[in-house]
Amino acid sequence: MRLSQPDRGSRAVVAATIVGAVLSLALSTVEAAEAVADRVERVLRLRADTNHGRTLYSQYCASCHGATALGDAAGTVPSLAGQRPNYLLKQVADVLENDRSVPEMHQLMGRWQFEDPQSLRDVVSWLAELAPNPRPGVGSGTQVAEGTRIYQADCAGCHGRFGEGDNPSYVPALRGQHYSYLRRQMAALATGHRTGMDGEGRQRLGRISLTQLDAVADYISRLPSERDAVPDGNPFAPGAQ
């Protein structure tokens, strides 16, 4: 069937609208990424006051994440204790610049304290000094061997043998994190419902079945802290820069 001239014109308008929307979205994404990078750079120049960070955390964060930042084993709220400060800062900046959608956090971040670079520096530095969660929620334990194999082959290269992460590269520590939270976030990253991971990492997750994701999350949740894993020393101190 041949299109009439008005039909062709309508399709052209729709196509132009779609292209414009895509370009606008791409531009806004680039602008958000630049704003995040600028915010992170400004915060990292500052010297941390961890006492102030502890006060701010107790006032604004403890009601959800817990007094010692151990989170919720049900998987809704992550453990933040001992997390790498650069990664924590990047996640907060992503929320502030609307580059990551976390409704509960958006409500909190609207308060002026978290727009203040010094406050951000203080809170993330205090969290990084805490010991990782010693008893995170774990899975069934039936496929830990499979999870070990996959993690050491596909994940340890970036996240570390003990899940310690890498602060200069903004790679999060995974040890001490709850199984249910790990599973949810891994599935969201694999399906594109959460951003923040490089393309190679997302492709690796995408090749893993849901059953294998369960196994990996269960294994990670059982990783010992660095202090327990390295008896002759601790090369990965929680607040290491």
pLDDT in tens, 106-149: 566 666 566 789 999 999 999 999 999 999 999 999 999 999 99
Domain stops at, among 101, 130, 159:
130
What's the CA gap between 6 and 209, in Å, rounded?
A: 48
Same domain, 122 and 203: no
Residue 239: pLDDT band by 50, 70, 90 thresholds? very low
**In-domain check, residue 5:** no
Nearest Cα neighbor of 165 from 219, 220, 210, 100 is: 220
Same domain, 85 and 147: no
Q: Can you give the pLDDT at residue 94? A: 81
Same domain, 167 and 83: no
Residue 240 exposure: Cα atoms within 13 Å on the Cβ side: 15
CB 128 within 8 A of CB 239: yes
CB 194 within 8 A of CB 172: no
CATH number (domain holding residue 186): 1.10.760.10
Same domain, 69 and 141: no
Domain stops at, among 130, 162, 180:
130
Q: Can you give the pLDDT at residue 17? A: 45
Same domain, 145 and 224: yes
Same domain, 152 and 74: no
Q: Which domain holds residue 84?
A: 36-130
Number of domains into which the chain is organized: 2
CB 75 within 8 A of CB 84: no
* Chain center to CA of 71: 14
- Model's pTM, two decimal places? 0.77
